[in-house]
Chain A
Amino acid sequence: MAFNVQEIRKDFPILQREVNGKPLVYLDNAATSQKPQVVIDSIVDYYSNYNANIHRGVHSLSQEATDAYEGARKKIQQHFNIKQTHEVILTAGTTHGINLVANGFTEFLKKGDEIIVSALEHHSNIVPWQMLCERTGAELKVIPIDEKGVLILSEYEKLLSENTKLVFVNHISNALGTINPIAEIIKMAHKVGAAVLVDGAQSCSHIKPDLQALDVDFYVTSAHKMCGPTGVGMLYGKEEWLNKLPPYQGGGEMIAEVTFKKTTYAGLPHKFEAGTPNISGGIAFGAAIDYLNSIGFDEIEAHEHKLLQYATEQLTAIEDLKIYGTGVDKTSVISFNIEGIHPYDIGTIVDKLGIAVRTGHHCAQPIMEFYKIPGTVRASFAFYNTKEEVDALVAAVKKAKTMLT
């Protein structure tokens, strides 16, 4: 089926609404994506027709719900080309997945060990590792970036040693849109025997990573960035790693046998899925993956790339406008400022014109510190955005500039 953005927009009820009397132009997709009707329907369908707790009931309803939930896990496995279904852990989201791994590594680390993170990280990616370092005495090292917002791999190489136990990097920077060369980063880490965890929160709505080909040890993402609901995500871990990691939370579903003396834990993936999970969320995550694949990732990438190029051209033409993150490999995110104007002011005016962009430090203060700026205005495009919406953004930014200078 040919890619038709106007047809696709009809799948998203929210794109039909107005904001401040203007048609909504939603360009905050890096924060969260909008949801198509099929995803919303899958949640309503679950609660309307087969709501039951999963994995434990023998009754039909419970069986139906379990099938749907486990069906979603299977969809995730296939989508990311994961070898085995039980290597897919359903989480509450990216941050949950990261904390699960960071917590598990407490047992593996000691003083003198090192963890490497990148300078492009989101706060959620820095804090758990700092906490892990505090617990274990390990040291945190940072891969620096260059002026274009690209990781300097030669510096990364220098940081790697036999002390490196874990490397943590995002697939795509949320603040700048830079795509990191994770295949290379993973290979280099494996040479010194370090495990690698990749944060795919920003990537999975734009590209379809092949996790076996990448040979990554852990990969985390959130459904809500991929047209799915909030509060659900995935942690992929290689079986050998997941077997080694201790459980993160205790509770129902994660046990095999319990006496007051000792509990034996359930096998994968249940060992990491204590308590009743977000059942509707998991099912809707599966529906979102089906939806994205029905559009096709090649088409998504091509369309978003066109939008990015066009928006970059148009915005760059505005005098005194500076774009941050100008590496060759980037997704449809444009972080910018206009000289002499606070990003917050631009965001406020642009919002009054019906355009949703993000302003601020994007939970990535170290990047802002690197560029010596208080924050940026960030426009992030999805496959359902149009060239006309880029025009609306550009016109709004120009208007804001006139009002604010």
Chain B
Amino acid sequence: MTIKEIQKELIDEFSMFDDWMERYEYMIELGKSLPLIDENLKTEDKLIKGCQSRVWLNAEIKDDRVVFTADSDAIITKGIIAILIRAFSNQKPEDIIEADTQFIDEIGLKEHLSPTRANGLVSMVKQLKLYAVAYQAQLKN
């Protein structure tokens, strides 16, 4: 599936819920299914700056696609990064670079899009894209 298709799928899943509480409960559920980063990769350089909770993000290239794994010590943050990874992992670097995060708004988690928000969703997206840029350069060489 393309990033757009996955984002559409996420929007549909979240549209089933009537209120924020159900959305958050689902997000927490998604957090539990997050593809976890290898414990020995939880190092300082995998930490994303700008989060109140700690978030580790790792990227690997498999064939021509970037595969992300992550973890966080806060469960809501874990939910957010799980949503992002579902949308962006196993995709080509150029598609990750071009993708936008409008769908976060559409699934009713708009409050997390503010750049000053302490959970650092914006920092996470930036980091995902930085990895994609790096791998794109690597693949070209």
- Contact A344/B24 with A359-B52, A374-B53, A375-B52 known, Cβ cut-off 8 Å: no
Given contacts A344-B74, A344-B76, 13 further A-B contacts (CB under 8 A): A341-B75, A342-B74, A344-B119, A345-B74, A345-B76, A345-B77, A348-B76, A348-B119, A352-B20, A352-B21, A352-B24, A403-B21, A404-B76
Within 96-133 of B, Cβ neighbours of A (below 8 Å) are at: 118-119
Contact of A403 among B25, B53, B77 (CB under 8 A): B25
Mask: chain B, 61-87; 1 = CB below 8 Å from A; 0 = not: 000000000000111110000000000
| Residues on A with beta carbons closer than 8 Å to the beta carbon of B21 | 352, 403
Q: Is A349 an interface residue (CB 8 A)?
A: yes
Mask: chain B, 25-39; 1 = CB below 8 Å from A; 0 = not: 100100000000000
In angstroms, Cα B118 to Cα A134, docked, is 32
Q: Is A181 an interface residue (CB 8 A)?
A: no
- Contact A374/B73 with A344-B53, A403-B28 known, Cβ cut-off 8 Å: yes
Q: How close is B78's CB to chain A, nearest CB, in angstroms?
A: 9
Complex: chain B residue closest to A405, CB-CB? B75
| Residues on B with beta carbons closer than 8 Å to the beta carbon of A359 | 52, 118
Measured CB to CB, the residues of B under 8 A from A are 20-21, 24-25, 28, 52-54, 73-77, 118-119
| Residues on B with beta carbons closer than 8 Å to the beta carbon of A20 | 20
| Residues on A with beta carbons closer than 8 Å to the beta carbon of B76 | 344-345, 348-349, 404
Measured CB to CB, the residues of A under 8 A from B are 20, 341-342, 344-345, 348-349, 352, 359-360, 374-375, 403-404
In angstroms, Cα B141 to Cα A240, docked, is 70
Q: How close is B26's CB to chain A, nearest CB, in angstroms?
A: 11
Q: How close is A105's CB to chain B, nearest CB, in angstroms?
A: 33
| Residues on A with beta carbons closer than 8 Å to the beta carbon of B54 | 374
| Residues on A with beta carbons closer than 8 Å to the beta carbon of B52 | 344, 359-360, 375
In angstroms, Cα B40 to Cα A355, docked, is 38
Cβ A344 vs Cβ B77 within 8 A: yes
Q: How close is A211's CB to chain B, nearest CB, in angstroms?
A: 36
| Residues on A with beta carbons closer than 8 Å to the beta carbon of B28 | 403-404
| Residues on B with beta carbons closer than 8 Å to the beta carbon of A360 | 52, 118
| Residues on A with beta carbons closer than 8 Å to the beta carbon of B75 | 341-342, 345, 404
Q: How close is A32's CB to chain B, nearest CB, in angstroms?
A: 16
| Residues on A with beta carbons closer than 8 Å to the beta carbon of B20 | 20, 352
Cβ A403 vs Cβ B118 within 8 A: no
| Residues on A with beta carbons closer than 8 Å to the beta carbon of B118 | 344, 359-360
| Residues on A with beta carbons closer than 8 Å to the beta carbon of B77 | 342, 344-345
Complex: chain B residue closest to A352, CB-CB? B20
In angstroms, Cα B54 to Cα A352, docked, is 21
| Residues on A with beta carbons closer than 8 Å to the beta carbon of B74 | 342, 344-345
In angstroms, Cα B110 to Cα A352, docked, is 13
Q: How close is A117's CB to chain B, nearest CB, in angstroms?
A: 25
In angstroms, Cα B53 to Cα A359, docked, is 10
Query: 5 tightest CB-CB pairs across the interface, nearest first?
Result: A342-B74, A344-B74, A344-B53, A344-B52, A345-B76
In angstroms, Cα B118 to Cα A348, docked, is 10
| Residues on A with beta carbons closer than 8 Å to the beta carbon of B73 | 342, 374
Complex: chain B residue closest to A360, CB-CB? B52
Complex: chain B residue closest to A341, CB-CB? B75
Q: How close is B54's CB to chain A, nearest CB, in angstroms?
A: 7
In angstroms, Cα B51 to Cα A117, docked, is 29
A and B contact pairs by CB, cutoff 8 A, 13 listed:
A20-B20, A344-B52, A344-B53, A344-B118, A345-B75, A352-B24, A359-B52, A360-B52, A374-B53, A374-B54, A403-B24, A403-B25, A403-B28
Complex: chain A residue closest to B20, CB-CB? A352
In angstroms, Cα B24 to Cα A308, docked, is 31
Contact of A349 among B24, B53, B119 (CB under 8 A): B24
In angstroms, Cα B118 to Cα A345, docked, is 11
Most chain A beta carbons < 10 A, residue from B20, B53, B54, B119: B53
Complex: chain B residue closest to A375, CB-CB? B52
Q: How close is B123's CB to chain A, nearest CB, in angstroms?
A: 14
In angstroms, Cα B54 to Cα A344, docked, is 10
Q: How close is B72's CB to chain A, nearest CB, in angstroms?
A: 8
Complex: chain B residue closest to A404, CB-CB? B75
In angstroms, Cα B119 to Cα A403, docked, is 18
Q: How close is B53's CB to chain A, nearest CB, in angstroms?
A: 5
| Residues on B with beta carbons closer than 8 Å to the beta carbon of A344 | 52-53, 74, 76-77, 118-119
Q: How close is A283's CB to chain B, nearest CB, in angstroms?
A: 30
In angstroms, Cα B24 to Cα A233, docked, is 41
| Residues on B with beta carbons closer than 8 Å to the beta carbon of A352 | 20-21, 24
Q: How close is B30's CB to chain A, nearest CB, in angstroms?
A: 14
